[in-house]
Chains A and B, each alone.
Chain A
């Protein structure tokens, strides 16, 4: 499979255009034409187009977007909300930021079209607190869109009206989980809600709610303009389209790169990342954000950037955060950092997550400080397993998966640091 030619890019073709974040520049590039087209279609036709495209959510779980939209009970009589998830907090993930800062109108146009499709008249963008610059840019873009009549009452003379509000989070990873986001937006403590009921039926303020990732929504204008079939031409198998991959770690050119799904991981790292920094040897790659299990060099050489290939190697495409780990980097340090992150970010309502994240971190901290004991290896595994599939949201699994993955694929490096002994410390 060939790398994606720059002119075939879907989300970032024009991304380097100066002042693209201004509405005039965006319009001059053909912006808001998809909205006009969408408003001339029926709402169901828009959903149909998105279904045809095969687009799957870019927030991490990869749920088919068109299908998600059709779960909404349109006739319930309650208002329907569309929430744009711009909380982007998964370590190794920084792609939404590019859209938010460089092409905010693409996102806004996507939101307006999507709101039309799901019969929503009030939408929120929930942006992580740390994205202060992005928040400013989005705020201004929303203002511009109101002035031009793309937002507000009777958009472009149609029957569709939409109010769009920017909401800044206060810096909690868990508010990126869709029901955590809803709680936070409702003014409550940012913690996930039980399912059922599912947000599509009863979400924000107990009304039907669709939560979509920034990248997901930003893809919608292209699909409407070019058709779902055209989109489905990109990618392979169940992995349609392109994605914004975030390349970080020990590479020469870290950054966000749009690629078609299905291309070989090695090619991606070589071409976009310019290979390993200082010619270092590869030890592992985390393919989809910090919660996805790693790939060994052997696996990296066989893996392609699509859902099925990742499943084959026991991992996920997740949020598209590709983290390249060189031979010299300590996996113990890496796991200590990761377990600390999840321990810090757990909302704490579910016992397995609250207690498990703390225990994992304590063990990894001890091991990293040279105080690991043989028994800790099994304890890490057992604790991580107890945290899988036993909680309200997937943070618990997200904390457990990398631990299990590294222990399984790199047991020797970890075991080498464990000593026989009974004394617990830290």
Chain B
């Protein structure tokens, strides 16, 4: 690497970092934590909270580590008595006008102010004069703002100026009258507002969607990725262990993909996982009405159809499936003689490699179109694009269409295929939720959502990432792998193991 490196010691630990790295970041790399409020790895340095003070040899004054570049031979100490005393004093000043209303604050349990003041034993305030009062609960759109809790770290202001570039937030007035607010008191209007609640170190900005629903210490967390577009932002998903339901989706930092952010859709559009539109069990349209079926029955019927006439069947795999689901589906169905495969995706946007908004959001709302291409290539199976599939459907080349792995309401690319299918084409859908096209189908099979399955996805940048289940399977749903193997077993062929 051509990057110039510098060596320094922090608390007697030798650290080597690229030139230009701050002492704060160098310490973090060495696993040394420095108290801080305003520093954020994905925002510019503000240097205003003054909590990250360290002692640097030969410098009589303490320095803020977030704005001090590491230099060759530098000797840094982060826990001397002088540092501890200073940080304690600065922390005290953070608290004198803070309402300390933790019992009714949503951030309690993950508040950095709370973390530190218990750490420094500052329970009783020397400041017993009337505190400065500022506007309490204010509705600023998706977020609630409590200016009195705000410690004016400016993270949120920097976020709307540097990340979304919408400049919606500002700190108005000066001195201890300084108050955070939106410009002209307008509600927030960007696609990334939820991040504000994450980066606010205190309970000044809280997400409406999550506020007061659950105390944070009751949640179980899973590290996974978002599947709502081709970017593949890394996330942490929280579930309530009692109800086994999803509670919250938060970004998980990945400097190469999503930094510390996710879009509001990725954060809040998970509600389809638990809503009444979910398909609870397999259903078949018989004698003019939908009737409940067993998986056994579904596999039997569909399996037989496939083995009798494998070449009159078109299999469409949603780009919402994992590589593993796709691989198993293509392998088993080909072994049954199926020759025609296509994908379900909005082909007009599938080749974008970059977010359309310059931040994270892709026009391709599926997470694994790249994965589909790679799976087909690696299995050496030919497939047709949407245009060809549409044309062949229209010309009645197929009598049966099997669409697998659909998720959510949007199901990009599905309408194209279904509208092309003539009335007599029999359609089986494997989907999480009811669609407007149900009248076109004779089978509907309940699919799991991305929150209920694990596997590998390849994002628009071509990076493969792990998807991990964060809640148990809902209802009688089965994932693509289970469907693939089910169809194979129940077809009139002997199971692979018996061959």
Contact = CB atoms under 8 A, between A and B. Distances in A.
B49 interface: yes
A44 interface: no
B152 A348 contact: yes
Contacts of B49: 351
A386 B89 contact: yes
Interface string A327-353: 000000000000000011111111110
Given A351-B151, A354-B175, A355-B93, A424 B128 contact: yes
A392 to B, nearest CB: 6
A183 B89 CA distance: 29
Contact of B176 (A191, A343, A385, A391): A343
Contacts of A344: 175
A84 B329 CA distance: 74
Contacts of A424: 128-130
A363 B176 contact: no
Interface string A185-202: 000010100101000000
Interface string A344-370: 111111111011111100110010000
A379 interface: yes
Nearest to A362: B129
B89 A351 contact: no
Nearest to B128: A424
Nearest to B67: A194
Contacts of B86: 386, 390
Contacts of B89: 352, 382, 385-386, 390
A389 interface: yes
B96 to A, nearest CB: 5
A387 B49 CA distance: 12
B50 A391 contact: yes
Nearest to A172: B174
Contacts of A354: 152, 175-176, 178
Given A358-B97, A386-B92, A351 B129 contact: no
B64 to A, nearest CB: 8
Interface string B170-209: 0101111110000000000000000000000000000000
A355 B178 contact: no
A191 B173 CA distance: 11
Contacts of A392: 47-48
B67 A196 contact: yes
B126 interface: yes
Interface centre among B97, B171, B173, B174 (most CB of A within 10 A): B174
Nearest to A347: B174
A389 B174 CA distance: 20
B94 interface: yes
A336 B440 CA distance: 81
Interface string B82-107: 00001001101110110000000000
A426 interface: yes
Interface in A359-405: 359, 362-363, 366, 375, 379, 382-383, 385-387, 389-392
Contact of B93 (A194, A345, A356, A379): A356
A345 B173 CA distance: 11
A376 B96 CA distance: 15
A138 B45 CA distance: 38
Nearest to A387: B93
A351 B48 contact: yes
Interface string B28-52: 0000000000000000011111110
B154 interface: yes
B494 interface: no
Contacts, number: 102
B176 A351 contact: no
A228 B282 CA distance: 95
B15 interface: no
Contacts of A389: 61-62
Interface centre among B89, B151, B171 (most CB of A within 10 A): B89
B462 interface: no
A385 B89 CA distance: 9
A45 to B, nearest CB: 34
A348 B61 contact: no
A79 B250 CA distance: 45
A346 B152 CA distance: 14
Contacts of A196: 67, 69
A392 B49 CA distance: 10
A157 B262 CA distance: 61
A395 to B, nearest CB: 10
A339 to B, nearest CB: 12
Interface in A76-129: none
B53 interface: yes
A325 B349 CA distance: 77
Contacts of A390: 50, 53, 62, 86, 89-90
Contacts of A343: 175-176
Contacts of A375: 126
A359 B175 contact: no
Contacts of A189: 171
B127 interface: yes
A346 B176 contact: yes
Interface in A271-308: none
Contact of A346 (B45, B97, B154, B175): B175
B132 interface: yes
Interface in B128-142: 128-130, 132
Interface in A169-195: 172, 174, 189, 191, 194
Contacts of A346: 174-176
Contacts of B176: 343, 346, 348, 354-355, 357-358
Contacts of B90: 351-352, 386, 390
Contacts of B46: 194, 349
Contact of B94 (A355, A379, A383): A355
Given A390-B62, A392-B48, A358 B132 contact: yes
A359 B89 CA distance: 13
A352 B93 contact: yes
Nearest to A385: B89
A274 B73 CA distance: 58
A355 B177 contact: no
A379 B129 CA distance: 12
Contacts of B94: 351, 355
Contact of A363 (B129, B151, B174): B129
A132 B194 CA distance: 47
A363 B129 CA distance: 8
The 6 A-B residue pairs whose C-beta atoms are closest, nearest first, are A386-B89, A348-B178, A358-B176, A424-B128, A355-B93, A346-B175
20 contacts: A172-B174, A174-B174, A189-B171, A345-B174, A346-B176, A348-B173, A350-B48, A351-B49, A351-B50, A351-B151, A352-B93, A355-B93, A358-B176, A359-B93, A359-B129, A379-B126, A386-B92, A389-B61, A424-B129, A425-B129
Given A350-B50, A351-B90, A355-B96, 12 more contacts: A194-B46, A194-B67, A343-B175, A344-B175, A346-B174, A348-B176, A348-B177, A358-B175, A359-B93, A382-B89, A392-B47, A424-B129
